[in-house]
Amino acid sequence: MKRSEARRWLVRGRVQGVGFRYFVQRKAVELGLDGWTRNLDDGTVEVYAAGPLERLSDLAAALHVGPRMAEVRGVDELEDVVRKTAGFSVR
């Protein structure tokens, strides 16, 4: 799969302690994206993913919804550089 694009998202709301990172990992793996997700000290979740633009858009749509117990209040999206990653990890 050609990695044409990369994006980084910061997800705000009730997104820690509700399985958000594992939700992101499952969705990214389904979409064949590489990258990672992690909790940040300010209560947000950071997501980095690389892959075809249409699949990144699909992931972005999922980030706005999140898992059942989450309450997403906002998602900031930034273009990023394509980094060498293999698979999708939870950090």
Q: Are 25 and 90 in contact (CB under 8 A)?
A: yes
Q: Are 8 and 46 in contact (CB under 8 A)?
A: yes
Q: Of 21, 26, 73, 83, which residue is the catalytic one? A: 21
Half-sphere exposure of 1 (CA within 13 A, CB side): 15
Residue 21: active-site member: yes
The residue behind tokens 């300010």 is 42
Residue 39: active-site member: yes
How far does Cα 64 stand from its chain's mean position?
10
Q: Of 8, 12, 38, 39, which residue is the catalytic one? A: 39
Q: Which of the residues are catalytic?
A: 21, 39
